[in-house]
Structure 1
């Protein structure tokens, strides 16, 4: 501002300030000054580092869960195969032909004429005779071999080698 402009402002303000005491003006610091940046930078850094560590922990736990799942899946597969083999073994052992063969190896025979006892009155029907092997039919009846046998004729083949193809 020029000195004439300042005088004009003073002359206009003079009537307003006549009864008042003169106010001393001072320089006030700018209120928009930036706050300390260090705490903000530290806060943002802590949040970022915490997020990265959290993601690493989450990823590690997910990998461990995946390994555990694979191990349990393999164990379930092995147990299912074992259950299948045990079921097959049970069916094979429950086969009537197998039971009859084991009974015969143990010396059990089919009785010729069984005797029945009626429990309520104690009456016995039939006569019991000792069992022997004569009443037990063979488990594996012998099949007579056919008088003729079909065998295919023997054929031989010789491979021709070409001397020029090997060189």
Structure 2
């Protein structure tokens, strides 16, 4: 008869049973207690680590899971990369701030020149309005040698009939006229 020990997954008590019969065989210790209950539950013996059963030497050394090796990389390239990023960021911010200030000065100059051009446009519009005034037109016409005409004659476009009598302008040219020298 072969005996087999079965350990539950929960780590609890072990039971022994005979293979083939399905009957539990209980061993009793000298005090009359069950042999499966030999573990101490009180005192310092309860804290003592459990004894490992000895394995046969033919099985070889017992394998253990080793912790992964610590990850260490070269620190100098990492530190250099961080320094390059920080210096590059600072220089980038400096360039952006310089461009912003430069554009602010340029905008101010353009506003000033725009204001000057607005004043010049207003002055030119005032001069045009002054030149279009009826008194100035008459003075300019006399300066060119023109004389005032009488009542005008009209031509009706539908049939080409002339209404009124056309007469040439009468009067002497002005003294400031350019044409007095040619007559």
TM-score normalised by length of structure 2? 0.53
Q: What's the CA shift string for 1:113-133, capped at 9, x where partnerless?
A: 433333333323333333223
- Identify the residue that residue 40 of structure 2 maps to in structure 1: none
1:92 CA displacement? 0.9
RMSD: 3.2
1:84 CA displacement? 0.9
In structure 1, C-alpha distance between the alignment counterparts of 2:138 and 2:170, rounded to whole Å = 16
Larger helix share, 1 or 2: 1
Tell me the matched-pair count.
122
- Identify the residue that residue 86 of structure 1 maps to in structure 2: 124
Aligned with 2:114 (options 66, 72, 76): 76
Instruction: Determine which structure has greater relative contact order: mean sequence separation of CA pairs < 8 Å that are 6+ residues apart, divided by chain length.
Output: 1
Q: Per the alignment, in what secondary structure is the counterpart of residue 16 of structure 1?
A: coil
Q: Aligned pair in 2 of structure 1 residues 131, 36: CA closer, same or farther (>3 Å)?
A: closer
Q: Does 1:117 align with 2:160?
A: no
Q: Aligned pair in 2 of structure 1 residues 110, 43: CA closer, same or farther (>3 Å)?
A: same
1:32 CA displacement? 4.2
**After superposition, where does 1:25-104 map in structure 2 within 5 Å?**
31-32=69-70, 34-104=72-142
Structure whose alpha-carbon radius of gyration is higher: 2
TM-score normalised by length of structure 1? 0.57
In structure 1, C-alpha distance between the alignment counterparts of 2:61 and 2:120, rounded to whole Å = 101
In structure 1, C-alpha distance between the alignment counterparts of 2:147 and 2:79, rounded to whole Å = 96
Q: Aligned pair in 2 of structure 1 residues 39, 120: CA closer, same or farther (>3 Å)?
A: same
Q: Aligned pair in 2 of structure 1 residues 41, 113: CA closer, same or farther (>3 Å)?
A: closer
Aligned with 1:17 (options 46, 52, 55): 55
In structure 2, the gaps of 5 or more residues are 1-48, 173-183
In structure 2, C-alpha distance between the alignment counterparts of 1:18 and 1:128, rounded to whole Å = 146
Q: Per the alignment, in what secondary structure is the counterpart of residue 133 of structure 1?
A: coil
In structure 1, the gaps of 5 or more residues are 1-8, 135-167
In structure 1, C-alpha distance between the alignment counterparts of 2:167 and 2:68, rounded to whole Å = 126
Q: Aligned pair in 2 of structure 1 residues 37, 114: CA closer, same or farther (>3 Å)?
A: closer
